[in-house]
Amino acid sequence: MTDPDRIQDGRRRKGEHRRRLLVEATMRVIERDGAGSVSQRRVAAEAGVPPSAVTYYFAAVDDLLVATLTSVNDLYVERIDALGTGDEGLAALARLIAPTTEEARAHLVAECELFLMAARRPAMRPEIQRWTATLDAFLAPYAADPVQRTGVATAIEGMFLRGAYSDANAPGPDEVHRILRGLLGR
């Protein structure tokens, strides 16, 4: 999503700001009530705008969900690109994977719901492919073998899921770091 503050045209800036407001409201609805509860009317109420504002920017709920998943993915791609390399990069990735607060866990649950929705919504799948490519690129310096990278990426996705559904048994950042090191033979 475009940063509204960088847009010179006032109308476009206002439009991008409104789109961002609606995407953030969608994420709050998903965090609180689940992805199945997203409707244009609910998002409008959450954002404090009339329902017509949602339909102006997003013709269908699927469009709103794609935009929300894209926003989530943008943040992950940005964070992964900034992780660094070596053991410090793995430790930073571990902190990204393991939620340490209830708020972070609620957000992770919402993110996982969005990613899982892509299995049934083809319009969302390019974001899953972008995530996979980002994770593979991050792991490439750690593992030359693409099969090993796929295995580690799959384990990472599993740890994200475990963090979403298990508050007591989910590994913390230190344990995730140790797991990553073991999987990568470091």
| Rounded CA separation 82/57 (Å) | 31
pLDDT, tens digit, 9 for 90 and up, residues 79-98: 999 998 999 999 999 999 99
Q: Does residue 38 register a pLDDT over 80?
A: yes
| Rounded CA separation 85/38 (Å) | 38
- Average pLDDT over the chain reads 91
Task: Please give the domain boundaries of the chain with CATH numbers for all domains.
Answer: 1-59 (1.10.10), 65-186 (1.10.357.10)
The DSSP-derived string for 101-139 is SHHHHHHHHHHHHHHHHTTT-GGGHHHHHHHHHHHHHHH
Structure tokens at 16: 């991008």
Under 8 Å CB-to-CB from 114, ≥6 apart: which residues? 30, 35, 65, 68, 69, 72, 124
Q: Does residue 1 register a pLDDT over 70?
A: no
Average pLDDT over residues 34-45: 95
The band of 9, judged by pLDDT with boundaries at 50, 70 and 90, is low
Q: Does residue 171 register a pLDDT over 90?
A: no
Average pLDDT over residues 122-148: 95
| Rounded CA separation 140/146 (Å) | 8
Select from 105, 113, 114 the least CA-distant residue to 170: 105
Q: Does residue 8 register a pLDDT over 70?
A: no
Q: Within a 13 Å sphere around the CA of 155, how many CA atoms are in the beta-carbon half? A: 19
pTM of the model: 0.86
| Rounded CA separation 61/74 (Å) | 20
| Rounded CA separation 17/161 (Å) | 31
| Rounded CA separation 58/38 (Å) | 13
Q: In this structure, are residues 113 and 34 in contact, taking their beta carbons and an 8 Å threshold?
A: yes
